[in-house]
Amino acid sequence: MQVIQLNQELFRRHAEGDLLATEQILKEAQPSLRRLARKVAVGLPVTSSLTSDDLQQEGAIGVMRGLRRFDPERETDFEAFAMRCAHGAMIDAIRSHRSSDQFIQSEMDVPARHSSLEPDFWQHTLRDLNPTERQVIEWYFQENLSMRVITERLGGIGPVAGNRILNQALQIMRARLS
């Protein structure tokens, strides 16, 4: 990313809305993002479904957010600035993922608690969910797929977004069961 540090023209084009310039900045950031994601992933618990690739994706989002705030006239070291933004985004994703995991652990027995209920009841409860939520519930509870596999099947969304969909569906089901 040292080239970015010296290339004011690239930042000017990005600031003017040139998506190719933004893409180039992100492309040049990838090696540093990959290293940072691997370093952060080492501290994750073995049971976490977040991967280094997930963290790298979250870091790229952090860099994109940081690009909006970066002022090449004021800031001198884009790499340090970008990696602070990426690291913050990765930590936010881990925190969000942990709270989602805790919620899911407390709610995982929702289907099990009510498995003896009539099939019509389940059909009606699942009907309250949108198609994506219904699919996530089926994959997670019936097929025992990991969140990583589920998010890949959903078109490559991040695990944080996948956990949000699962949490939302569980809340709807929980309200229905109350």
pLDDT in tens, 57-109: 899 989 988 888 887 777 667 888 889 999 999 888 887 776 555 555 554 54
CA–CA dist 169, 158 (Å, integer): 17
User: Would you state the pLDDT for residue 59?
Assistant: 92
User: Would you state the pLDDT for residue 4?
Assistant: 41
pTM metric for this prediction:
0.54
Question: Among the listed ranges 51-60, 97-106, 157-166, which one has the minimum average pLDDT value?
Answer: 97-106
Ranked by mean pLDDT, which of 42-56, 92-106, 115-129 comes out on top? 42-56
Domain 2-102, CATH among 1.10.1740.10, 3.90.650.10, 3.40.50.80, 2.20.25.90: 1.10.1740.10
Per-residue confidence band for 36, with pLDDT thresholds at 50, 70 and 90? very high
Q: 2-102 and 108-177 share one CATH topology?
A: no
Domain coordinates in residue numbering, the chain: 2-102, 108-177
pLDDT tens, 5-32?
447 788 888 888 888 988 888 898 999 9
Burial class (CB in 10 A: 0-12, 13-18, 19+), 156: exposed
Backbone angles phi, psi at 161, to 5 degrees: -65, -40
CA–CA dist 66, 78 (Å, integer): 10
CATH number of 108-177: 1.10.10.10
Residue 59 near residue 87 (C-beta atoms within 8 A): yes
